[in-house]
Copies of this chain bind each other. A is one copy, B any other.
Amino acid sequence: MSGPVPYARRLLEALLFAADSPVSMRELAKHLPDGTDLEAHLAALAADYAERGIQLVRSGDSWSFVTAPDLAAALAAEAGERKLSRAAMETLAIIAYHQPITRAEIEDLRGVQLSGGTLDLLFAQGWIATRGRRETPGRPVLWGTTDEFLRAFSLERLSDLPSPEDLKAAGLLQPQAAPETAPAGEE
């Protein structure tokens, strides 16, 4: 690594490295002199690691080091992939796109009742959390996604989720997508 590294960047590096979970900007700021440009230092630190085997990632308001995704195969020798059911993934996507959302609304969107374990599984992973209640009769609990969800799916922020247009462009909404441009019956 080239040249002297500013003290603030070294300290951030050590703080993020020594933490057992993502560290919030608020927490990081506490350790640095007032007036430090935290965003700039974090951006510089992320750039330092861009090509390394470890990367600095942002998830919502928090930052953490993780291993580079392209090394997965070499690292994952022991880690077996946890396969998530379709029900769980669809429920998670619905919560991510429609938050805050009630259980009944999720069921309505999917046209099927949620089995007991689905929200439980997503909650246990730390991917969803309650977000108060909807002020309607029965005051149902609202669910939303967490920063841990962003981190787990390598998203910086919710707005990084692909829009319906992005999904179409990526071919995930074929073949009925975009009838204006694609003649009907095209594969």
Chain A contact residues, CB within 8 Å of chain B:
1-2, 4-5, 9-15, 17-20, 27, 30-31, 48-49, 51-54, 65, 67-68, 71, 74-75, 77-78, 80-88, 103, 112-121, 123-124, 130, 132-133, 139-141, 155-156, 159-163, 166, 169-172, 174, 178-187
Contacts and interface: CB of A to CB of B under 8 A. Distances in A.
Prevailing SS type, chain A contact patch: loop
Contacts of A116: 171, 174
A17 B120 contact: no
A118 B186 contact: yes
13 contacts: A1-B1, A1-B48, A1-B49, A4-B51, A17-B65, A27-B80, A87-B187, A103-B170, A115-B187, A116-B171, A117-B178, A119-B170, A121-B178
A41 to B, nearest CB: 11
Contacts of A71: 10-11, 14
